[in-house]
Amino acid sequence: MAALRKGFIDTGKIAPVLPALALADFSLKSRTGFKGSGAASWLAAQGLVLPDDPNQACTDAQGRMVARLSWGEFLLLGDFAGLEKAWSYESAPMCFPLPRQDSHAWIVVSGEVAPKMMAKICGIDLRPQVFPKGAIAQTSVARLNAIIIADQIGGRGGFHLLSDGSTSQYLWDCLVDAMLEFEGAPVRSEALSKETHGQTDAQG
Amino acid sequence: MTRLPAPWGQWIDRGQDISFTFEGRKITAHPGDSVASALLANGQRLIGRSFKYHRPRGIFSAAGWDANTLVQTGSKPNVNAERLLAVDGLSVSAVNYAGSLDRDWGRLVEKFSKLLAAGFYYKTFFTPRIAWKFWEPVIRHMAGLGRVDEKAPHAYYDKEYLFADVAVVGAGPAGLSAALEAARTGASVLLIDEEPEIGGSLNWARDGSDDLKNRVRAEKGIEILTGACVQALFDDNWLEIVKGNRLYKLRAKAVVAATGCYWLPMVFRHNDLPGVMLGSALQRLLRLWGVAPGKRAVVATANDEGYAVALDLADAGIEVAAISDLRPHRDEGRFAQEAGKRGMRILQGAAPFEAHEKNNRLASVDLVQAASGQFQERIDCDLLALSAGRIPASGLLSHAGAKFAHEAHMDLPSALPAHLFAAGSVNGRFSLASALADGALAGALAAKDAGFAAEIPPSVGRDALGVTHPWPIITHPKGMEFVDLDEDVQVKDIQASMADGYEHIQLLKRYSTSGMGPSQGKLFWPHVQRLMAKAKGVTPAEIGASTIRPPMGGETLGHLAGRAFEPVRLSAMHKRHLELGAVMMPAGAWMRPAYYGSDERAIDQEAKAVRDGVGLIDVSTLGGLDVRGPDAAVFLERLYTWTYAKLAVGRARYVLMCDQTGVVIDDGVAARLHEQHFYVTATTSGVDRVFRLMQWYNAQWRLRVDIAQVTSAYAAVNLAGPKARDVLARAGTDIDIKKEAFPYLGVRQGLVAGIPVRILRIGFVGELGYEIHCPAQYGEALWDGLMAAGQDFGIAPFGVEAQRILRLEKGHIIIGQDTDALTHPFEIGMDWAVKMDKPFFAGQAALRAHLEKAPVRKLVGFALENDKGPLPKECHLVIEKGDIAGRLTSVVRSPSLGRVIGMAFVKPEQAGLGNLFDIRVDGGAMVQARVVALPFYDPKSQRQEM
């Protein structure tokens, strides 16, 4: 039986070896989110270590990433199924789950030249000296709203890009186009998730 | 091809030959050549023709400061050959000639130059009025340079952002020094120059060296961007830079403008001939490209640098027939002294009066005594080098709003805006030592401004005196002394413009066209300033500095337009639509199936399938919003016109949103999934606005509510038609879908085909319908499951066009099509969805006011009386007694009803059932329509509730 869940991106030709700049579709990996004025306290009560400030991300012992998008909004990259099960209107007042698994595509860019490539489609300075690991930008990428999170991916500097799922093919195509001059190429998601720190690099 | 031996020609690779064509002729070049330098090396001195008089033109600045050498390369018009790198296989042609470049009959215009004084076109062509019909095509034919190739292939242009703590524009001595000093503090420095190599005048001037360049190249904190033109400096240190086909947007914390100077030409009769050129142009040709552009030269100077040019020419083996020095007294500079020691012929107080032409180029020059105007001598020469002074290249400073003061016969910056620093000759520091010191100072100040700890070196004073001559203009009774090469503006044109009353620089520029050409008066503006001052009897300082506006160099529409980012939204089922042969149409950024099949006949078949059996439409584009929290119902009560407080969990209700003026702005459905949770749909195009408004109101009302935009998180289909329930059952669901268990306007959550779903029983198309929403990643599987389950029931996919017919038959409005920016609910028959007795909702106060006024229009359903004739279209006008009485909002030929039906705004007095009204159709014909009751189809709504 065919899998019921599907990513939306036609990733095209996949590079046989990890290129200097690699692009991968992480969209089928687990992620979720919580939002609301009670989100921080409920998540903390569940034992999650939260970044102190908005636009900061941290990684827990299992290699999962907790990204704080505002005082009351959290994007969780990795397997947080336990949290989703524990949640209810009654147990988590003013804390609401977000369907991040389906609302946002998750695309990963890895390679030291990634900031230079991103500068072709995004106006934020993403150079590591000003946008280090764990920094978050909620901004426009190729005219799309996007969340950019700096991380070490595949043992190299890179970014998690989360953007509206319906425009994921468009964004993918923009990225592939922007990567051409750097000899970047799409790779399988496994090529980037297996080498990252901890269990994974925020993979589900 | 003739070249000087090394070390002349440091930019060319003599080991390789390449070739391109110019006017069909093969030109051999070396890598590193510009097209202009290669042409000259091949003896091609004539490169273009002037705009107005078609005079012969060649290299004048060798730096792209003028428009003499604009050429066409393939589809690209007006490329400056002095800035265009020669590459193998390039095809180059000259612009603006008629006949051949050598024999241009367009030059006949010069014979009539006396009739073509400044502003002649303002005075000439408008009387009699009929004359314009003759002149307009003639003028249009003559206007412009180059050819627009309408079949040019689409080229790839794009953009890139750049970031730096300190941006240094100009990599001459001052810029190099500034970059080094700024980098020393730890600041990230971006050094930008339009030349292919850093160094500026160090590369071509007589006293150049490589030491400073090498130190900059070795400095890790300095990023170098060469071959890049800074077009503009906008607010907040936003620099627009063009390199190749890319436009860079640089945001720097601080900017150093070390943009240097242009060399000031002299003005005399025929100062535009090929062979007459700036001294700096000659030095560039010799040192950068190893090209000796002539055999016998005269150097006309007014400063020490002219003597350096003469020495360089002599060193390169070119005979220097004389140095004509405009000044009465001998220069004491080191180059003048060296020229004297070498026995060069120096004519003190002499100036060029007229250049003579032979075979489209310079043949000789007449010199006069500058003080008396007395003829001195004629000298045969094929080169005339000009060195009258400098013009600070202050364009970027001007863009940023710098103030200037007239000092030492130049406009030098006197006040700079914050975060901007000037260095080097643009700032009045001309000697190498003072330029380096000034650069270091600016670099340190810029780094400090950017937040770095910098030691500030001492400042050095300006050394601008004696650099620029106050009046390097030698008029001639026969004119043709050009003060603008781009537009062929002569001295007399400036004088005539002043006489016509255009005494302000901004007016004079436009009237005389001086400075209005491609080079924007870079080289000749100071002359115009001097001429205006003389005519007005004031000082040049009182005339003031010209405002220089972006862009600084050639900026194409491609640079501005490319790369276009046009997001496209695709639903989870997009691939399936394509496989089924859908014709896709845009709906905002979304792509939706208009219909499935090869032609529009499919639309009626799709509508029929829904009416008779079952159809499936992708409605994923519908907006989705999760409104959650203890006050969710209160929030909806305040936001929408109807009431939701008592809506039971498991039920859905129509929502209608008005703005504060009572205008209908969106609609949808609110489905209550939990006491604290409403899943609210909105229109495809309206959801972003609705989401923004919800957040806006939530911030004000401070209710215990959270709003999430979940449009993309859910794929959705509408399974509609009398057999919809059968298909749903066949697909497999754990929801009890019997009519009694799941009635019309019910909402359920469960599984369909193993997929988690939210199902809303609503009926936009007027049939038994299930709007099924599922997590987007399951969308394709849901579509597949329902299509497979519906196979035995004849399920047909249907598109937006069929849905538009079906909903119109059912009398459902589309917000934005059947409403406009003034429509309130009462004029579209939505009274039933407005609870005016609620304490408050957005737009309520305005709607109260509407109720107190007499209505001005009404949306009615209509049917055509005779649908065999011309058919009306949407937006055709309703006419009453010759006046506009309304307009059609929707019209279709209904396959279910077999007649043309629609909706229209009419006057209230026309809205009575059975009334006839007139519609004006294409071509002006009138057709009659009759007001009929809505809905047209299934008036008792039995089918959607079955």
Could B163 and A35 be called an inter-chain contact, meaning their C-beta atoms sit closer than 8 Å? Answer: no
Residues B146 and B635: their CA atoms lie apart, in Å, by 63
Query: CB distance from A169 to chain B under 8 Å?
Result: yes
A70 touches chain B (CB under 8 A): no
Cα dist from B776 to A189, A202, B573, B676, B756, whole Å? 20, 22, 9, 23, 11
Mode of pairing for the β-strands spanning B623-628 and B706-709: antiparallel
Cβ separation of B567 and A103 shorter than 8 Å?
no
Q: Report, as an integer, the average pLDDT of B917-922.
A: 96
- Predicted confidence band of residue A202 (pLDDT cuts 50, 70, 90): very low
Query: Cβ of A102 and B569 within 8 Å?
Result: no
Which of residues 105 through 124 in chain A touch B, CB cutoff 8 A?
119-124
Q: What separation in angstroms does the CA of B273 have from each of B47, B48, B236? A: 11, 11, 43
Which of B628, B777, B780 is closest, CB to CB, to A102?
A: B777
A14 and B CB contact within 8 Å: no
Partner-chain residue, chosen from B704, B708, B781, that has the shortest CB–CB distance to A98: B708
The angle, 0 to 180 degrees and rounded to 10, between the axes of the packed helices B173-184 and B211-218 is 30
* Amino acid identity for residue B38 in this structure: A
Q: Tell me which of A52-56, B367-371, B543-547, B741-745 is least confident.
A: B543-547
B235 CB neighbour count, 10 Å cutoff? 9
What's the CATH code, domain A22-29+101-193? 3.30.1360.120
Test A143 with B628 for CB contact under 8 angstroms.
no
The CB-side HSE value for B643 (13 A sphere, CA atoms) comes to 9
Decide the pairing of beta strands A96-98 and B229-234.
unpaired
Q: Do B710 and A99 touch (CB under 8 A)?
A: yes
How far away is chain A from the Cα of B335, in angstroms, using its nearest Cα?
Answer: 47
| Integer Cα distance of B605 and B613 in angstroms | 11
> Is it the case that residue A195 has pLDDT exceeding 70?
no
B616 neighbors B715 (Cβ within 8 angstroms):
no
In chain B, what residues touch A145 (CB-CB under 8 Å)?
none
Nearest to A21, CA basis, from A141, A196, A135, A159: A159
B607 Cα to chain A: minimum distance (Å): 27
Helix, strand, coil share (%) of chain A residues, nearest 5: 20, 30, 45
Least CB–CB distance from B161: residue in A27, A98, A119: A119
Residue B140's pLDDT is what? 82
A146 contacts in B (CB within 8 Å)? none
Residues of A in contact with B564 (CB under 8 A): none
Question: How far does the CA of residue A136 sit from the closest CA of chain B (Å)?
Answer: 18
CB < 8 Å to A114, chain B:
none
Q: Are B722 and B609 in contact (CB under 8 A)?
A: no
DSSP state of B870: P
Strand partners of residue B901 = B863, B892
Name which of B156, B159, B161 to mutate to probe chain A: the one with the most chain A Cβ atoms within 10 A of its Cβ. B161
Neighboring chain A residues of B781 at a CB cutoff of 8 Å: 2, 4-6
Angle value at C-alpha B653, between B772 and B848, nearest 5 degrees: 145
Cis peptide before B756 (omega within 30 of 0): no
Helices (H), B810-879: 844-852
Q: Across residues B225-250, what is the average pLDDT?
A: 96
> For residue A170, is pLDDT > 80?
yes
**What residues contact residue A107 under an 8 Å CB cut-off, 6+ apart?**
A9, A23, A24, A25, A26, A27, A160, A161, A162, A163, A168, A171, A172, A175
Whether residues A123 and B162 touch (CB distance < 8 A) is answered with no
On whether any CB of chain B is under 8 Å from the CB of A165, the answer is: yes
Backbone angles phi, psi at A55, to 5 degrees: 60, 35
Distance, in Å, from the CA atom of B32 to the CA atom of B187, rounded to the nearest integer, reads 32
B336-363: average pLDDT:
97
The beta-carbon neighbor of B569 closest among A28, A120, A166 is A166
Domains, chain B = 18-113 (3.10.20.440), 158-262+392-449 (3.50.50.60), 470-562 (1.10.10), 574-807 (3.30.1360.120), 854-946 (2.40.30.110)
B691 in reach of chain A (CB within 8 A):
no
Q: Is B706 on the interface with A (CB under 8 A)?
A: yes
**CB contact A145 to B (< 8 Å):** no
Q: According to DSSP H, which parts of B513-546 are helical?
A: 525-536, 540-543
Q: What is the arithmetic mean of pLDDT over B446-457?
A: 98
Please name the residues in contact with B25: beta carbons below 8 A apart, sequence gap of 6 or more. Answer: B44
In terms of phi and psi (left: phi > 0; alpha: psi -120 to 50; beta: otherwise), the region of B370 is alpha
Interface contact B755-A119, CB threshold 8 A = no
Chain A and chain B share a number of CB contacts under 8 A equal to: 115
Of A96, A130, A166, the CB nearest to B570: A166
Averaged over B438-458, what is the pLDDT? 98
Tell me if B160 sits within 8 A of A182, measured CB to CB. Answer: no
Q: Is B780 in Cβ contact with A6 (below 8 Å)?
A: yes
Taking CB atoms and an 8 Å cutoff, what residues of chain A touch B710? 98-99, 103
Query: Which SS3 state, helix, strand or coil, does residue B719 take?
Result: strand
The domain A31-98 is placed in CATH, from the list 2.50.20, 3.90.920, 3.40.50, 3.30.70, at: 3.30.70
B278: which strand partners?
Answer: B386
Give me the pLDDT at residue B136, please.
86
CB count within 10 Å of CB B89 equals 8
What is the pTM for the complete model shown?
A: 0.91
Residues of chain B with Cβ-Cβ distance to A96 below 8 Å are 626, 628-629, 706, 708
Please state the domain extents for chain A: 22-29+101-193, 31-98
3-state SS, one letter per residue, for B347-394: EECEEEEEEEEECCEEEEEEEEECCCCCEEEEEECCEEEEECCEEECC
Average model confidence (pLDDT) across chain B: 95
What does the pLDDT average to over B839-861?
96
| Helix B525-536, helix B491-499: angle, nearest 10 | 40
Sign of CA dihedral B408, B410, B416, B420: negative
Give pLDDT, residue A199: 42
Q: Is the pLDDT of residue B227 over 70?
A: yes
B858-880 mean pLDDT: 94
Mean pLDDT of B98-120: 88
| C-alpha distance from residue B706 to each of A77, A146, B39, B268, B709 (Å) | 22, 21, 70, 77, 10
β-bridge mates for residue A163, sequence order: A105, A146
User: In this prediction, what percent of chain B has a pLDDT beyond 70?
Assistant: 100
Do the interacting molecules here have an ipTM over 0.90?
yes
Verify whether the Cβ–Cβ distance B570 to A2 is below 8 Å: no
Shortest distance between the Cα of A154 and any Cα of chain B, in A, equals 26
Nearest in space to B529 (alpha carbons), one of B474, B594, B470, B448: B470
- Phi and psi at B513, nearest 5°, equal 65, 10
Q: Cβ contact (<8 Å) for A174 and B675?
A: no
Contact list, A5 vs chain B (CB under 8 Å): 777-778, 781
Contact across the interface for B570 and A130, Cβ inside 8 Å: no
Q: Decide if pLDDT at B75 tops 60.
A: yes
Query: pLDDT tens, A121-150?
Result: 999 999 999 999 999 999 999 999 999 999
Name the residue facing A8 among B249, B570, B713 (closest C-beta): B570
| First-residue to last-residue Cα distance in chain A | 23
* Binary contact (B712, A119; C-beta < 8 A): no
The DSSP bridge partners found for residue B770 are B719
Match 């020095």 to its residue by tokens: B325
- Are residues B713 and A123, on separate chains, in Cβ contact within 8 Å? no
Closest CA–CA distance from residue A113 to any residue of chain B (Å) = 14
* Count of Cβ atoms closer than 10 Å to residue A37 Cβ: 15
B379: alpha, beta or left, given left = phi > 0 and alpha = psi -120 to 50?
A: beta
Q: Residue A204 pLDDT > 90, yes or no? A: no
Give tens-digit pLDDT for A15-36.
Answer: 889 999 999 999 999 999 999 9
In angstroms, the CA A19 to CA B654 distance is: 53
Crossing angle for the helix pair B724-731 and B779-790, nearest 10 degrees?
110
> Residues B530, B534, B540, B546: what is their CA dihedral angle, to the nearest 10 degrees?
-60
pLDDT the model gives residue A198: 34
Cβ–Cβ below 8 Å for B776 and A144: no
Question: Does the CB of B649 have a partner CB in chain A at under 8 Å?
Answer: no
Q: In this complex, do B628 and A96 lie within 8 Å of one another by their Cβ atoms?
A: yes
Which of the four pLDDT bands, split at 50, 70 and 90, describes residue A2?
low
Structure tokens at B475: 């008029």
Confidence of residue A194 (pLDDT cuts 50, 70, 90): low
Per-window interface: B 235-294 vs A, CB < 8 A: 249, 251
Radius of gyration (C-alpha) of chain B in whole angstroms: 38
Decide if B568 and A170 are in contact by the 8 Å CB cutoff: yes
Q: Is B328 on the interface with A (CB under 8 A)?
A: no
pLDDT at B122: 80
